[in-house]
Amino acid sequence: MVGSKILAWAESPWDYWSHRSTPLVLLSGKTIVGGLLGGWIGVELVKKRFGVRRATGDLFVFPLVIGIAIGRMGCVLTGLPDHTYGVHTSLPWGVDFGDGARHPTQLYEIGFVLLLGLVIFWKSRREYWNGELFVWFMGGYLGFRLVVEFIKPRHVYFGVISAIQIACVLGLIECFRRLAQNFQHSTPNVQRPTEAMSHE
């Protein structure tokens, strides 16, 4: 919740600043990217505090896929007030949310996460190291968001990249680090499909 809120403020700083005297506006808005990264950081801190060394994210992958897909359908139905649409487009699949045809980035995201879920499901039927499914999910989703943000209205930093994209890059760096680390030392942690339901 904290990560989701902080990144939302960073993504639209001037909008929130202009309503700084209205607490309800300051408390509104959130971003999935911030929620995922904030949750990941929070879990890692708790695990470190209690000495938990085993990865715990694999079981969350498919619920996250379904949850994001359902949530984005709600974003489509909400329309302009949700601020999750893309920039204006003349492409034939553009959706008019009330101010002209825009990229339906919410629908792009639904299609992507469902496809990502299918790929990870295929991966889950084969050997994988503990925590690998979650890392692939995070890497895939953050990579998608890094790209799709370029066709969404956004406040940019350094003249080119938004706060969400900066967060995506940082998350991707951690995903690549974990993939590289575990591919070098994967043998002790390899899981077989029959073991997938028993780990946490």
In 3-state terms the chain splits into helix, strand, coil percentages (rounded to 5) of 65, 5, 30
Q: Using CB atoms within 10 A of its CB, is residue 49 exposed (0-12), middle (13-18) or buried (19+)? A: exposed
Model's pTM, two decimal places?
Answer: 0.85
H helices, E strands: number in the chain: 8, 6
Between the CA of residue 52 and those of 22, 44, 129, what are the distances in Å?
A: 42, 9, 17
Please tell me the predicted confidence (pLDDT) of residue 191. 58
Average pLDDT value over all residues in the chain: 86
Please tell me the predicted confidence (pLDDT) of residue 197. 42
- High-pLDDT (> 70) share of the chain, %: 84
Q: Which of 170, 159, 151, 147 is nearest to 3 (CA)?
A: 170
Is 83 or 192 the better-scoring residue by pLDDT?
83
Q: Predicted confidence band at 177 (pLDDT cuts at 50, 70, 90)? A: very high
Tokens 């902080």 correspond to: 6
pLDDT tens digits along 52-109: 888 888 999 999 999 999 999 999 999 898 889 999 999 999 999 999 999 999 999 9
Please tell me the predicted confidence (pLDDT) of residue 185. 63
Q: Which of 149, 141, 178 is nearest to 67 (CA)?
A: 141
Is 5 or 61 the better-scoring residue by pLDDT?
61
Please tell me the predicted confidence (pLDDT) of residue 101. 94
Rounded-to-integer distance, Cα 66 and Cα 89, Å: 28
CB distance 95 to 75 below 8 Å: no
Least confident range from 22-26, 49-53, 58-62, 196-200: namely: 196-200
Residue 13 has pLDDT above 90, yes or no: no
Q: Predicted confidence band at 199 (pLDDT cuts at 50, 70, 90)? A: very low
